[in-house]
Structure formats: C-alpha cells, structure tokens
C-alpha cells in the first residue's frame, strides 16, 4: 500500500515536471513549425516531406486537414485536389460544375490511387516554386491524419525526441455545408492518440474564429489553440480571441511596416498587444525562396524573431530556421 502510494506520488512529480516543460516550450521558447513538412525540399504534406522535416529537429510538424467522402481527415492544404495530384488524369469525370475536383467527393481508397507532386498551377501545369522539387518525379501519395501521427509518434519513440503536431482544421464552413463536422472528427482522433490538453505536444489551429471558439466552448477542447488570422481587420478582435485561444497566427507581412530613415524595419503593435493578452504569436510563412525585400533568409528570420518578437514561425525550410535559432 505504502509503496504504491509512493509510486503514485513519484509518478505525479514526474508527470508534473514533464507537463511543465511542455508548457514552457509552447509559452517561452522560440519555436519552429515545419510548414506542410519540409515543403521547400519535397512535395508538401507527403510523408517523405514530413520524415525529412522531422530529421531537421523543428518543434512541430504541421498538418492541414480536409475530410474525404468517408470522413477520413486527409493531410492536404486545399479542399481541391488538382493543384498537387494527378486527379485530372485518374478521375476526369469527377469534377464538379465549377471544373474543380474536391477531396470530399472521393473515398479514402480512391484518394490513395492518386499520385502527389510538387504544387503546380492547374491551368499552365507549371510549378508554383520553380526551384523546388521537380514535378512528377518519384512517387508520393496522400495519407490520413492517423498515418501522420503514427509516423511522428513512431519517430519520437525511435529517436528519443519529442516533436509535436500542429493540425489545422481547413474550412469548417465548407465541411458543414457538405454535412460534415470536421472539428468533432479531428478532436476524437487527436484524443485517441493522446492529445487532449495544453500539456500534450499538440497545437490546434484554424482561420475560422467562430469554429475555434466552438472547439473551446461547445466541444470543450482543452488543447492549446491558435487563432489564425488572414486580414488586417481581424487584428481588432484580439481581446475576443484571447477569451478562447492561446495563440495567434498572423501573416508576417501584415505586422511589418516600412523601414524608417535609418533603415530599421517598423512594426505594428500586434505582437505587443497579443503578448499583453497572454497570446503567443506564430506567424506564417517564412520562405527562403520568397524573400521579397529581404537580402537573405537569415535577415528575414532575424526580423521575425528579433524585430517582430515572434514566438514561432511557420517555415517551408525548417532546417534553416532551426540553424538560425541554434546559432544565436
Ligand atoms: Ca496551414
């Protein structure tokens, strides 16, 4: 009896310190999120891209989620298929009136028949990022959220690392119109794999504020939640976001202003205001092959982490962001 009580207390202490460490990582350490995997090097959201990203030691790997016809969450960025797969060749008759092919019109088994490639323009057939992985080389497939969690948890076991997942609920309103409650389906799977609270190594993100609030209040999720924002006017609602979310995910270009006369980048007050409300800020998307006015990726990362004081960045090049943080 005494021994079991002792063991229970010991476990509680152990669990508590691991939990604290996890919470510290999300709240205080600057983090790198592998955006769609190592998507600067391999076709986005493929398991190959995720395995490569994992080996680059980011803090989190990102999963965009869209449901199949039979309610399997597929790891894919768009609700459409024709910009990253050969759906037009394999199922030419399955397009809707708008000419597009929807993930939600295909069963999981059918989706597995598609080949995946680097993102391309469906009209021209040309790659979106011309210096990235070549189109239609080798063989890549779509996969489910479950497949990806098992890959990451499997690697956590075999490497001894503890890399988290960062799933995004894509277009919940579209799913609802199609008769599907994507959030409930995803939350159940996350729970089955041990992701239930803020202490678990998972951050859930969504652009739809109404839905993220529903996830917290109606679906009673205790996960760490990040409110993605797309438009500058969304920044007015920070206080509202802070009532249910733990973090904010803005586009970095919206919080960066012009350089001043001395050549220093000026910023909006968004990050400061978010921090005052207790929200962490993880901005998207840092790309070494889309530098805009920056002369190097390190300069862009410096501005992101130091000038903007971001807590984390979504990047297609996780190796470079990890190296940047480690070399500081
Ligand atoms: Ca995303």
- pLDDT tens for residues 73-124? 999 999 999 999 999 999 999 999 999 999 999 999 999 999 999 999 999 9
- Full domain range(s) for residue 321: 241-328
- pLDDT tens for residues 16-33? 555 545 555 676 789 999
Confidence at residue 232, expressed as pLDDT on a 0 to 100 scale: 84
- Tell me the CA–centroid distance for residue 289 and ligand 1, in Å: 18
Give me the catalytic one of 35, 45, 175, 282. Answer: 35
Give a yes or no: residue 75 inside a domain: no
Ligand 1 is an ion; residues with CB less than 5 A from it? 64, 168
- Tell me the CA–centroid distance for residue 90 and ligand 1, in Å: 26
- Tokens representing 127? 């790659």
Give a yes or no: residue 146 inside a domain: no
For residue 169, list its beta bridge partners. 65
CA distance 230 to 248: 11
Give me the catalytic one of 45, 57, 77, 275. Answer: 77
77 catalytic, yes or no?
A: yes
Give a yes or no: residue 56 inside a domain: no
Q: 315 phi and psi, to 5 degrees?
A: -140, 145
Give a yes or no: residue 203 inside a domain: no
- Tell me the CA–centroid distance for residue 92 and ligand 1, in Å: 28
**For the chain, what is the domain count?**
1
Give a yes or no: residue 229 inside a domain: no
- Tokens representing 225? 């939640």
Give a yes or no: residue 134 inside a domain: no
Sign of CA dihedral 147, 150, 155, 156: positive
The number of beta carbons lying within 10 Å of the beta carbon of residue 259 is 11
| Percent over 70 (pLDDT), the chain | 91
| This prediction's pTM | 0.92
- Tell me the CA–centroid distance for residue 318 and ligand 1, in Å: 15
Give a yes or no: residue 2 inside a domain: no
Give a yes or no: residue 310 inside a domain: yes
- Distance of CA 240 to CAs 25, 60, 246, 249, 323, Å? 24, 26, 11, 15, 36
57 catalytic, yes or no?
A: no
What is the separation of C-alpha 236 from the centre of its chain, rounded to a whole number of angstroms? 23
- pLDDT tens for residues 201-223? 999 999 999 999 999 999 999 99
DSSP element (H, E) containing 259: strand 256-259
């Amino acid at each position: 009896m005494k021994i079991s009580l002792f063991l229970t207390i010991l476990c509680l202490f152990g669990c508590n310190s691991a939990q604290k460490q996890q919470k510290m990582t999300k709240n205080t350490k600057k983090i790198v999120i592998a955006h769609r995997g190592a998507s600067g090097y391999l076709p986005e959201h493929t398991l190959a891209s995720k395995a490569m990203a994992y080996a680059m030691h980011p803090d989190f790997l990102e999963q965009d989620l869209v449901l199949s016809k039979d309610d399997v969450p597929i790891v894919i960025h768009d609700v459409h298929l024709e910009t990253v797969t050969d759906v037009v060749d394999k199922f030419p008759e399955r397009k809707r009136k708008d000419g597009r092919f929807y993930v939600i019109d295909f069963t999981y088994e059918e989706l597995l028949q598609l080949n995946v490639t680097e993102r391309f323009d469906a009209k021209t057939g040309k790659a979106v990022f011309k210096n990235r992985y070549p189109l239609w080389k080798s063989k890549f497939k779509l996969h489910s959220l479950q497949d990806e969690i098992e890959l990451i948890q499997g690697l956590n076991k075999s490497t001894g690392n503890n890399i988290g997942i960062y799933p995004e609920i894509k277009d919940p309103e579209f799913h609802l119109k199609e008769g599907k409650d994507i959030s409930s389906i995803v939350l159940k799977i996350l729970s089955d794999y041990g992701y239930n609270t803020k202490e678990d190594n998972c951050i859930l993100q969504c652009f739809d504020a109404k839905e993220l609030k529903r996830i917290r209040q109606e679906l009673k999720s205790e996960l760490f939640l990040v409110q993605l924002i797309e438009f500058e006017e969304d920044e007015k609602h920070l206080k509202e976001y802070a009532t249910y979310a733990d973090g904010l995910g803005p586009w970095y270009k919206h919080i960066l202003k012009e350089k001043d006369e001395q050549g220093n980048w000026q910023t909006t007050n968004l990050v400061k205001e978010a921090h005052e409300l207790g929200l962490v800020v993880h901005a998207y998307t840092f790309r070494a092959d889309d530098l805009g006015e920056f002369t190097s990726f390190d300069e862009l990362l410096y501005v992101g982490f130091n000038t903007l004081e971001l807590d984390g960045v979504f990047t297609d090049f996780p190796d470079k962001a990890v190296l940047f943080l480690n070399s500081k």
